[in-house]
Structures are given as structure tokens and as C-alpha cells.
Structure 1
Amino acid sequence: MSLLRVSLLRLAAGLALLPLLMAGSPASAQSTAEAEAKARARNLAAFPEAARAHFGSQNSPASSLRARAIGSYARGCLAGARALPVDGPSWQVMRSNRNRNWGHPELIGFLERFARDVPRLTGWPGLLVGDISQPRGGPMLTGHASHQIGLDADIWLTPMPRARVNESQRENMPATNMARSDWRDIDPKHWTPAHTRLIKAAASEARVERIFVNPALKVALCREAGADRAWLSKVRPIWGHNYHFHIRMGCPAGAAGCTPQAAPESGDGCGAELTGWIERQHKAIFGPKPKPKPGPQPKPKPPMGLDALPDECRQVLLAE
């Protein structure tokens, strides 16, 4: 059976189950899940041979294969994935309808241990966890360019409520924008010292290679870091990431075929580099919008195909 046929059959099975999974849910939760399913279906129809179509249709992990992060963070796949339970003692998974709470066992173990420390670090009841990876990793039909090898995780900057989220809130509750209205700093109505302590604790972990945050958030972290600034080198500014921060783990020890993240640049990244990010972001949001060029608009670049991924990713797709 061809890889495309396997992928299409698995996607059809998943979409057929959607009404059953949502039975009895509030209308708002159903509409959110339906919108996600429709976007997935549109992207599948537009480029049915793309790598994202194959991996975005997988509903279960390649459990017959040993756990491996294969390739690079934005061009790879995941064998032997483990799911982060949707509800834990000090965490809850958000947007669980996406089925992106899968990761390499080392990342999942780290998240569980890290979440247990959150009440002590921050005073919060726990973490709200966003996207990790798909069951077999790889490119996604909607969303991220990275998160492909099970070593990336998004952590909401909204604390887990003491009453815990219900099913409707899990799918629909908005996250909190931590950036100030001018996008040059944090919003003091929402940002607290606990956010700095949380991100510092994650960045201080030896196995964490990067933390990605919005440039406005990095401004606050630079200001609030104090004398211990070594961890700031791992915290890099990037577009978006004003609702959550992104943890990236390093390749597991001795992992053949996992492409490591380059070492961070020296210094704390709080000088001219950060200023440049802030100014570019401000200009992109508030500056004049470029006018479209006259004449036919260029067609969008097709998404990557399977040939762009490591050869082992074909085995991951076909494995039981």
C-alpha cells in the first residue's frame, strides 16, 4: 500500500471519529474543533503529496519503533513517541483536539518533572501546555514549521487555573497577550516576577538548548535577570511567542540521526541584537504596509515533500 493511501485512510478515520469525540460538547468547543478539521482538510486537498499531508494524517505513534528524534527540528520526524497525559497533577494540555501532545520520551519526562516544580517556583497551580508534536512528528497541516522531532514544546504564559480548565475552556479559552500595546515591552497588567522565574528555571536546565520568546518579553527578562545572566544566552527573541514560550530540548545523548541545535551566541543578547528585533517588530506592526506589486501575484511555494525529510521518516510513516 502506498504511503499516500495509508495517510489518507488514517486521516479519513480520524475525521470520521470527530463528531463522536465531540458529542455532548458545547457548541463553541465543537466550532473550534470543526474549524481546525476544515483547515487540515483544505491543506491536505491543496497538496496531497506534501510531507505535511502524510504526517498530519497520523493519529497514533510509531510504537513498534524505538524512540528516536530523526532529522532536524524543522525537517524531521519522530519514532516511538510518548503522549503527555492531557491532565496531570500540575499541568493540563490545551487544544487537545489537535492531537499534538506527543513527544520524545525524554521531553515528556522533562515536562512532567518541570511541571511538578511550578507551584514552588511560581505559586501557580500548574502549567497549561500547548503544542508539542504530532504522533509521528513531521510537518503539520496547520501551524508550526518546527515541532517536528518531538523535542519542542509550547508553554502558555497563562497560569493553570486553580479550578482547572473544563473541556470547553481547553479548546476555546484564549491565552493572555503579554506584550504591551506598543510591542516594545511587557504589559505590566499581566506580566509578573513569576514569569521571569519560570523562564529562568527552564533555560537553566542543562538539556534545554533554547527558549524562544517575543522580543518584548526578552526586554523584561533582560531587565529582571539580576546578576545571574548566563541563562539569558539561551533565550532568543522570535516573532509571535507573546502568548507562550517555546522550550527546545537538545538531541538525546548518543542519538544517531538527530541534528543538534547550534550553540547559542555568546553574551546575554540584551544589547543591539534585541533592539533590532524590537524596532523591526514595531515597524512591521505599526509602519506603512507595502503595496502589492501590479500584475499577477506569484504562486505560493509548495510545502516540502517527503524527499526533503530523512529516509527513515518513510519507515516511521509505515510502522505500526
Structure 2
Amino acid sequence: MIAPFRRCGSAFLALLLGTSLLIADNAAADETPAKALFGAKALPAEMAANSYGFYAKGCLAGGVAIPTDGPTWQAMRLSRNRRWGHPQMIALIEQFSHDAADKVGWPGLLLGDISQPRGGPMLSGHASHQIGLDADIWLTPMPQRTLTYREREDISATSMLQKNKFLTVDRSIWTPKHAQLIMLAASYPQVERVFVNPAIKKKLCDTWTGDRTNLGKVRPIYGHDYHFHIRIKCPAGASTCKDQAEVPAGDGCDKSLAWWFTDEPWAKPTKKPDAKPVKPKVTTLADLPKACALVLNGPAPASEAAATFGTAYRAAAPAAANDSIEQVIGASGDVPPADIPVPMARPTLQ
């Protein structure tokens, strides 16, 4: 009777050990930075489009990628795989790019980061852009040719600021069309804010002679001298998404802007001599809305082309698999192709 008991005891110990290791593994996974989890996803979750949480703390289901090239735009920094967004964000970018050409005479938009395939925190560069409702637009006009992959990675956006002069727009670079472009972006009712450098906001305050109704939407913020940042409102009826507080009344050309031209915003924080170093908090999956775990682990679309065009537009997706930039981004070769495939046009998302 002893041997069977020993065998049972050994099996129990093995089960207990296995369970302990599983618990330990799960605990370790819980401590994994959320940015590492979401940054590893190459494709969106095959779900209905939804933004979960806040712009700087959330995720995106049912994301759609804007094609790498359109008649009035080209996407930059393709290796980052951040040209995904909520369908309403992608639709706005496409509409804005066409309107910019027709109404402003802008030669085309160079698109910076929108969001990762499933949103969430990014490995680098942004605190926001997590729910597919933010997009960066370069202040550099699009050249009248299709840029190569390497050019999209290496070309730098042009700063609008004068070198060696604090918060001053360079008049040799800035043009009235830059102002018209930013104000056009702010004119759409679904746009909640347009973030720009304080010097650009001041330039608009001092020189904009058109309708100033939407000037208050243009908000000063650190950086943003190379590009501006469009943020749209949560989709109507989206209870899973949290809007930012409403923009204060007025054009924003007041004391709140003047503050940026004082020393306070740029002063380094003072540390007490006896203060202990504060360990930076790592955002984990548990810190995000609960739905983000489902988004993170949800199934990917059956094909990259379907993901690019979205569930509702698969009939319009390019038939050839090599029309999908995801294959270029994920290529195993060290040197990417010299030119980027240009996807077929698709219907504008409503």
C-alpha cells in the first residue's frame, strides 16, 4: 500500500509544482509593461470598432489602417506600424487631406503616428494615441512624388521655429498656408483639439484674420514644432470611451498662452536633498480598461489586406497580397524594398 501512496504523493507534488509555476508565470505576465504587449501586435483585433478608455490610457478594437499612399497623402515611418485608427479617425484624415488640397492648395499631407493596430501604450514617442482618435500631421508639405521606404524612415520633418531664438516662428519657413492648414483641421465639428507648439499658437493669435471661432481648439503644448496633433471626440454613443474636458471658451490668446512664455513651464523641478528617488510607475495591462485584455488577445483578421481595409470594406481590398504594406514592414530581409507598393483606393469611411 505504500508504493501507490508514494506514487499519488509524487503526482500531487508535481501538480502542485506545476500550478505554482503557472501562478508565478501569470504573476510575471501581469508585470509585463503594457507597451510591450500592445507594441508586439502587428494586426488589429477582429472586433467591432471601439475606443476603450482615455486618449492616454486605453486601447482600440476593430482598428483600420490608412493606405500608405492616397491621392493627397503619404504615410511616414512605416516601420513603426502606427497608421491604424478608429474608422472615424481614418475617415477624417482622408477628408482633411482632400479638403487641404482643394481649399488651401496644400500639396498633400505627410502622416505621422496615428495608433498601433490595437492601440494601447506605445514603446516610444507618445503618452496618448492609445485609442485610435489621435493623429500627427507633419508641417512639411508632401513632395510631388512617391517617397521610397528609406526616405519615409530617414527624412526629418521641418521645424517651424527659428534656431537659437526662444519660442519664435521662423518667418522664412512659416507661410500663410501653414496657418490655413491648422485652422482647417480645427474647423471640423468632430475635432476636439489641435495641439501645436506655443510659438505657433501665438503666431496664429497675432496674425489670423479669418473666422476665429475655432481658434480656441488650437492648444499650445510642449514640442509640436515639426507637426501638429489632431484629436477627435469619442464617437457618438460610445460609452466605452472617455472624452477630454471641453476646451475653455474664447480663442485661447490670453493668460493661458502668455504662461508658456514665462520661465515656469520650462523650469526643472526642484528636488529636496533628502528625497528618495521615485521609481517610475510601469503601466501594465491591469491598469487599462478591462476590455483591453480582450482586445489584446482577440483574433486577428484573416489577411493583412482585410485588416488594412476594414471588415466593412473587404470587397474593395486589393486582391494581390503584395499590395499590403504589412508584408514590407514584417519582411525578414535587412534591406527593405526600394519602393513601397501603393494600395488601391478604397471608399471613404463614413
Where on the TM-score scale, by shorter chain, does this alignment land: which range? 0.7 to 0.9
Equivalent position of 1:254 in the other structure:
237
Q: Which has the larger radius of gyration?
A: 2
Equivalent position of 1:313 in the other structure:
292
Contact 1:81 1:150 in 2 (8 A): yes
Runs of 4+ in 1 over 6 A off after TM superposition: 289-297
Q: Is 1:205 aligned to 2:184, yes or no?
A: no
* Residue-by-residue CA offset, 1:235-259 (whole Å, 9 max, x unaligned): 1100000100000010011112100
Quick one: distance in 1 between partners of 2:201 and 2:168? 8
- From the superposition, tell whether residues 133 and 238 of structure 1 become closer, same or farther in structure 2 (CA, over 3 Å): same
Quick one: distance in 2 between partners of 1:183 and 1:90? 34
Q: Is 1:107 aligned to 2:89, yes or no?
A: yes
Q: Give ranges in structure 1 of 5+ residues lacking alignment.
A: 7-43
Q: Is 1:134 aligned to 2:113, yes or no?
A: no
User: How far apart are 1:260 and its partner, in Å?
Assistant: 1.0
User: How far apart are 1:179 and its partner, in Å?
Assistant: 1.4
Equivalent position of 2:310 in the other structure:
none
User: How far apart are 1:131 and its partner, in Å?
Assistant: 0.2
Letter in 1 for 2:87: P
Equivalent position of 2:261 in the other structure:
278
Contact 1:91 1:129 in 2 (8 A): yes
TM score, norm. by length of structure 2: 0.73
Quick one: distance in 2 between partners of 1:190 and 1:244? 13
Q: Give ranges in structure 2 of 5+ residues lacking alignment.
A: 1-21, 300-350
Q: Alignment identity in percent?
A: 51
SS of the aligned residue for 1:230 comes to coil
Equivalent position of 1:35 in the other structure:
none
Contact 2:104 2:180 in 1 (8 A): yes
Contact 2:100 2:184 in 1 (8 A): no
Letter in 1 for 2:291: E
Quick one: distance in 2 between partners of 1:299 and 1:76? 24
Letter in 1 for 2:153: E
User: How far apart are 1:308 and its partner, in Å?
Assistant: 1.5
Letter in 1 for 2:113: D
Q: How does 1:58-207 map to 2 (within 5 A)?
A: 58-63=41-46, 65-181=47-163, 182-207=165-190
Question: Aligned-pair RMSD on alpha carbons?
Answer: 2.5
Letter in 2 for 1:301: P
- From the superposition, tell whether residues 219 and 96 of structure 1 become closer, same or farther in structure 2 (CA, over 3 Å): same
SS of the aligned residue for 2:219 comes to strand
User: How far apart are 1:183 and its partner, in Å?
Assistant: 3.0
Equivalent position of 2:8 in the other structure:
none
User: How far apart are 1:301 and its partner, in Å?
Assistant: 0.8
Q: Is 1:228 aligned to 2:207, yes or no?
A: no
User: How far apart are 1:273 and its partner, in Å?
Assistant: 1.2
User: How far apart are 1:156 and its partner, in Å?
Assistant: 0.2
Contact 1:122 1:195 in 2 (8 A): no
